[in-house]
Structure 1
Amino acid sequence: MKRHFKLAALSLAVLSSTSAFAQDSQEPDYKQWFGLSGMYYNTDPGRPLAEGIYDDGQGVSFEYGFRFTQSWAARIEYTDLELDYRSPISSGSDSEDGEMVGVDALYFMPDDMYYLFGGIKRQSVGESTTLANIGIGKHWDLADSVKIITEVATYHDFGEDYNDYSVKVGVSIPFGKSTPTAPQDSDNDGVIDSRDQCAMTPAGVRVDATGCAVDNDNDGVLNSVDQCPNTPAGVNVDAKGCAIKDSDNDGVVDAKDMCPDTEAGVKVDAKGCVVFDEEKVEITLRVLFDNESAVVKMPKDPEISEFAEFMKQYPSTTAVIEGHTSAPGTEAYNMDLSKERAASFKDVMVDMYGIDSSRLETVGYGETRLLDTANNAEAHRINRRISVTVEETVKVPEEK
């Protein structure tokens, strides 16, 4: 019998230790209970007495229990116990009243399937003795506020080598129910801490069912297919998660860029080529002449050089060189002089600056288009001139 008691104690210890931590941190469904039970108590036939023996007995048990966690609890128990007593000198039997008081530690299995318990009892029936007890029990749900208690326990006396056992049936009233709390999610990734294998995921990162990032470099390609998992932030990637090259940084990848060397800052179309706007450009030149002269005095004047460069920049343009004179002199003379002045300027453009003569036309207006009609030296000076204007509609790159 002693061996059976030790085996039961070892089993209780092993069962408790193997699963103690599985639910230890969870809140219990209820925190306290009161219980009232009827007990059948069977004594060991070898239990020593001064005279006679105890046979069996019954009692009424009161208990108060407190659950620390979903798994662990403790209780205080008081039993009003009556044991049958048979004396060897008497043919009949009698009974003795007493009590049994003690404490137990209880371990509830998952989902309260059953519980194991063990503790110390002080029994005072006839003689006082201290007992160690272990057992198994279950709280059966009868209603939300009532449970049925069933227990089987065995007792071992510390001073003597004997074992008793008991069977108990009763009711318990649970109270102090816990308020359910939402599972904790420390990094706010939508995966509770108990399941989160990557507990410090940065904010905004998509995670899988284990709480780990599904796209470590945030390039929009999942880790499972990302062949370049460390792409720098902001880089465009392809379906494999690798950077897409854009050599001229125009927003069109090299594979689709039909104009791969676009200058910076200009707008491009879907093919990577410059988008142009139409723009009108023009230049006007006026060259003054001495009195009764058709000689271009300063053919390398910066304004004349600039005009020639404009003609070269826009080779499709043509120009009409207009010759003019002041009012003094006859109309015929002034007309011939204006033509000579236009022709003289054309020769400078062709001979000195290499402009194709076919692009230049000359015309003389004599004194018919005076800029200043006053009859003084200054008016005559500005009227002795050639003038030429070149216009062109060109395409210029549109800026971003």
Structure 2
Amino acid sequence: MKHNLKLAALSLAVMASTNAFAQESSEPDYKHWIGLSGMYYNADESRPLSLTENGAYDEGQGLSVEYGFRFTQSWAARIEITDLELDNAAGNTAGDADGEMVGVDAMYFMPDDAWFLFAGVKRQSVGVSTTQGNIGIGKHWDIHESVKLITEVAAYHDFGEDYNDYSLKLGIAVPFGKSTPKAPVDSDNDGVVDGKDQCPMTPAGVRVDATGCSVDNDNDGVMNSVDQCPNTPAGTQVDAMGCAIKDADNDGVVDSKDMCPDTEAGVKVDAKGCTVFDQETVEITLRVLFDNESAVVKMPKDPEISEFAEFMKQYPSTTAVIEGHTSAPGTESYNMDLSERRAANFKEVMVDMYGIDATRLDTVGYGETQLLDTASNAEAHRVNRRISVTVKDTVKVPEEK
């Protein structure tokens, strides 16, 4: 009898595990269930009828009620109460015993609810009260949307007396508390849900096929099926075959049509690839002060003087008139001569130190005739002792993109 029971238990376990792979994938659609099952129970042959009676139990049957709750898709717990009757192994009905078995189980459901494993603790009060640990395997078979068939096989072990019992269970479960279906997830937002996406990390904006993989690996606008240059660098202009169109100066006009192949970067070009120019007025004014009765340029490397010289070099078609001035004290003839020397000395600095062509610079002295400040004090005299020069021109400048 015990041998037959073990074969039956093994068969049920194998049947549950092999049928798991025949089930279609589905998300769990319930969080609670109540079950009612019949149980076949086989007791250890050495388990005594009671502390005072001789003999042992053989097998029995029971009626089980359970309530289960699923915490997550995989994990659940249940409470189970079983009305259990065990038979006297000697066949004497007077030795049969009724009682109950109460316990809790932790349950782990395999993916798609293919089958589940469970383990827990049971308190059995039949003849001799005992506390047992139990493990088992089972499955909830879909019969109807609101009804499931329960099949389980379990093993029990009494750690105190070292008894080993077995049971088979067949019953009906009623699930309730349906969970809200989750919308399909599309992690890379390419329009293909994760369950079908064979390329789950596609960069944003890349076109994909039905499997979620790029149809244009180098993202040049040419489909992989016709792209003869599948690894074109990003941003490269390509032809209908996906190969780069040469544009040496990167101005947007291909070399075969570019009449100005060395266009400066960042400027606007016309259809022939040549720079588009605009008219612009450029101007710079410089004022340099002098000590009293001095024509010496004290700081010829002053940043403002250097900037003026660079401006002259940047616009080589420009010319300038250097104007010399003095303050009011002194005779008119002395001041006129001093102003001319100041202008001449500044021109010499421009030519000798900065390399400006002398023909681009003229000088003139105004003496005390063009005072900036007519007051008769030290500050007025200081600002009037000066040279001033203004350069202004209208030039063509490239338009920026």
Q: TM-score, normalised by structure 1?
A: 0.52
Q: Using a 3 Å threshold, how does the CA distance of structure 1 residues 197 and 113 change in structure 2: closer, same or farther?
A: closer
How many angstroms apart in 1 are the aligned matches of 2:261 and 2:108?
Answer: 77
Report the equivalent of 2:231: 229
Q: Using a 3 Å threshold, how does the CA distance of structure 1 residues 115 and 200 change in structure 2: closer, same or farther?
A: closer
From 57, 60, 70, give the equivalent of 1:57.
60
* 8 Å contact from structure 2 (residues 87, 93) kept in 1: no
How many angstroms apart in 2 are the aligned matches of 1:273 and 1:115?
Answer: 73
Report the equivalent of 2:80: 77
Q: Using a 3 Å threshold, how does the CA distance of structure 1 residues 44 and 144 change in structure 2: closer, same or farther?
A: same
* 8 Å contact from structure 1 (residues 229, 241) kept in 2: no
How many angstroms apart in 1 are the aligned matches of 2:152 and 2:222?
Answer: 59
Compute the displacement of 1:78 (Å).
0.8
How many angstroms apart in 2 are the aligned matches of 1:112 and 1:146?
Answer: 15
Q: Using a 3 Å threshold, how does the CA distance of structure 1 residues 228 and 108 change in structure 2: closer, same or farther?
A: closer
Q: What does 1:116-155 align with in structure 2 at a 5 Å threshold? A: 116-155=117-156
* 8 Å contact from structure 2 (residues 28, 112) kept in 1: no
Q: Using a 3 Å threshold, how does the CA distance of structure 1 residues 200 and 250 change in structure 2: closer, same or farther?
A: closer
Instruction: Spell out, residue by residue over 1:346-387, the C-alpha distance to the aligned partner (whole angstroms, 9 max, x if none).
Output: xxxxxxxxxxxxxxxxxxxxxxxxxxxxxxxxxxxxxxxxxx
Q: Using a 3 Å threshold, how does the CA distance of structure 1 residues 73 and 247 change in structure 2: closer, same or farther?
A: closer
DSSP-derived class of the 1:93 partner: helix
Report the equivalent of 2:375: none
Report the equivalent of 1:28: 28
How many angstroms apart in 2 are the aligned matches of 1:223 and 1:131?
Answer: 65
Report the equivalent of 1:44: 44
Compute the displacement of 1:248 (Å).
8.7
Compute the displacement of 1:227 (Å).
2.9
How many angstroms apart in 2 are the aligned matches of 1:135 and 1:266?
Answer: 80
Compute the displacement of 1:151 (Å).
2.0
Larger radius of gyration: 1
Compute the displacement of 1:27 (Å).
5.1
Q: What does 1:1-400 align with in structure 2 at a 5 Å threshold? A: 28-49=28-49, 50-85=53-88, 93-193=94-194, 201-208=202-209, 211-215=212-216, 217-222=218-223, 225=227, 227=229, 229-233=231-235, 235-246=236-247, 253-255=254-256, 257=257, 260=259
Q: TM-score, normalised by structure 2?
A: 0.52
Q: Which letter maps to 2:70?
A: R
DSSP-derived class of the 2:206 partner: coil
Instruction: Spell out, residue by residue over 1:171-221, the C-alpha distance to the aligned partner (whole angstroms, 9 max, x if none).
Output: 111001222111222331113345657655443221355645443553213
Q: Using a 3 Å threshold, how does the CA distance of structure 1 residues 102 and 194 change in structure 2: closer, same or farther?
A: same
Instruction: Spell out, residue by residue over 1:228-276, the C-alpha distance to the aligned partner (whole angstroms, 9 max, x if none).
Output: 635342x421245332125698977445x4x8569999976xxx799xx
How many angstroms apart in 2 are the aligned matches of 1:42 and 1:266?
Answer: 94
How many angstroms apart in 1 are the aligned matches of 2:203 and 2:142?
Answer: 45
Q: Which letter maps to 2:76?
A: A
Report the equivalent of 1:310: none
Q: Using a 3 Å threshold, how does the CA distance of structure 1 residues 78 and 215 change in structure 2: closer, same or farther?
A: same
* 8 Å contact from structure 1 (residues 248, 260) kept in 2: no
* 8 Å contact from structure 1 (residues 247, 260) kept in 2: no
Q: What RMSD, in angstroms, separates the aligned Cα atoms of the two structures?
A: 4.1
How many angstroms apart in 1 are the aligned matches of 2:273 and 2:185?
Answer: 55
Instruction: Spell out, residue by residue over 1:285-333, the C-alpha distance to the aligned partner (whole angstroms, 9 max, x if none).
Output: xxxxxxxxxxxxxxxxxxxxxxxxxxxxxxxxxxxxxxxxxxxxxxxxx
Compute the displacement of 1:72 (Å).
3.0
Q: Name whichever of 95-104 and 26-35 sits farther off.
A: 26-35
| Identity over aligned pairs, percent | 66
* 8 Å contact from structure 1 (residues 73, 107) kept in 2: yes
Gapped runs of 5+ residues in structure 1? Answer: 275-400
* 8 Å contact from structure 1 (residues 86, 92) kept in 2: no
Q: Which letter maps to 1:63?
A: E
Q: How many residues align?
A: 252
How many angstroms apart in 2 are the aligned matches of 1:113 and 1:196?
Answer: 24
